[in-house]
A and B are shown apart, each in its own frame.
Chain A
């Protein structure tokens, strides 16, 4: 269990997924709109067009002595090594898949990369929640098509989200936070 010098428990959550899929948008929505969470500073390492270069980071707490260190990764393919670094010590993952049909291959590549980095730990030691984002797109892929694409069975919690409006984002965050806490309690 990761603890700081005040004995508070820290749990690391990472938003992962393809470029421009909505990871930073989802985190910014949680940061800006969810009142019940206590939040620290929002740190973003990004370029001048606001594309994430390394990670975004916000410490969050629902109160008490448990803190969630929430990170996003840079989604662009060339930032593969940065993603590997950010994943170190992850307690839980939010995979943000893009519902746009032209992002089909990018979703698969990103999920395959995640499996490669985490191996058997993914879904076993490290819980994952999947956000099917951009559900407001008129030409969005169907839920079943996306789950088939990612090779997901019935064991992974799936949330349909519209990050830009915050739809489903809080529920997805609560789900992964809950999974991670339960994992710690009953491991």
Chain B
């Protein structure tokens, strides 16, 4: 299994290479935020919500491309008056970069493409966790599920 720290390292590498990047988020295609890093330690955004929207917007664009038969989606760019959002495919996930308005778009695209390959490989390992999960982890998961079940009855 891939360690979550691997994702943090790759995302940090991305954020360090362009000073205009504010936040980098890795989500899967179900809308789950897997990892995220920010340039500022205090950046008041609801990451889970941002991740869910980023994933949905990217997947909706993919679906649009399929309907129009115009090939594979590489990147979605959203331009706002005070910032930009980039989302690109990385295997089973979506890499999302939030930046200031004035950034080197070419560099960001290049970074996302390059790191996207590595992220795709790590994601494959991370998401293929079930068959190789050690017995101890499985027991912990079962404990978590049992405890959630008990809590649910008390709601």
Contacts and interface: CB of A to CB of B under 8 A. Distances in A.
A82 B60 contact: yes
B144 A174 contact: no
A66 B144 contact: yes
Contacts of B59: 85, 88
Contacts of A181: 145, 148-149, 152
A88 B30 contact: yes
Interface of A: 1-10, 12, 34, 36-37, 40-41, 43, 45, 54-55, 57, 59, 61-66, 69, 71, 81-82, 84-86, 88-90, 170, 174, 177-178, 181-182, 184-185
Interface stretch (B49-57, B70-78, B105-113): B49-57
B155 interface: yes
Nearest to B30: A89
B155 A34 contact: yes
B152 A62 contact: yes
Contact of A5 (B7, B31, B63, B147): B7
Contacts of B152: 62, 174, 177-178, 181
B88 interface: no
Contacts of A81: 60, 63-64, 67
B155 A4 contact: no
B22 interface: no
B144 A5 contact: no
B4 A185 contact: no
Nearest to B3: A5
Contact of B32 (A10, A55, A178): A10
Given A9-B141, A36-B154, A59-B48, A182 B149 contact: yes
A64 B148 contact: yes
B85 interface: no
